Amino acid sequence: MASKRANATASTRLRQDYMRIKKDPVPYIIGAEPLPSNILEWHYVIKGPENSLYEGGYYHGKLVFPKDFPFKPPKIMMMTPNGRFKTHTRLCLSISDFHPDTWNPAWSVSTILTGLLSFMLEKAPTLGSIETTDYQKKQFALNSLEYNLKDKTFTELFPDICKEIKELLDNQRDQNDPNEGTANNGEFLLPNDLNSENDNFVNGSTFANICVFVGFAVFALVVNYVIKAVTSEDEL
């Protein structure tokens, strides 16, 4: 019975949080929806803030609440590759289940998502965070649009956001080359792939420079031979 009471309490509280976040949305949190079949699992969408490394990106993640919420904190995960956090991995934050000792039952879903966004914009390491370059984070932001459209849960929970993303992609294709900002024909570009692409570029440039150098050397030898031949004829 205790478990059922706790589950009912969690459901009631999460419904209240849902109404609150719909009435008063959190900046840059453009989506927050529980699964229709399980109110304890929420999915969220963060839109990368302007003038940040995540600008233009759409980041999908999920919150998994315990049955005794709000007395215990949720698991927090990011699903969309982003360059800041590992995907499909529990994040160690003061508002997550890694730190029940710092959890405050008064914190709502809005509080959790606000804290997550704040930590995403920082560079402090934690369990579940990763190190990537600024360039890689911008590439992740570009690729996040098409990546999310391949996620079934994302498309089912956030049809309006999917429509928005498709319109953005159409505008990008009209203005730029269809493959610009993506790699491997639209496949997601991971950090190792980025390094490989850069290495290939450097290797290709080096090879081209060697070819130019050899060409100049051959040209110089030919010119020198012609000058010597002309000089020999004049002496004769």
> Domain 10-172 - what CATH class?
alpha beta
Domain boundaries, the chain: 10-172
Q: Which residues pair with 76 in a beta bridge?
A: 63
Can 92 be counted among the known catalytic residues?
yes
* pTM for this predicted structure: 0.75
pLDDT tens-digit readout, 173-213: 988 765 554 444 444 455 444 444 344 433 444 444 444 44
pLDDT tens-digit readout, 67-117: 999 999 999 999 999 999 999 999 999 999 999 999 999 999 999 999 999
Active-site residue, from 92, 121, 130, 194:
92
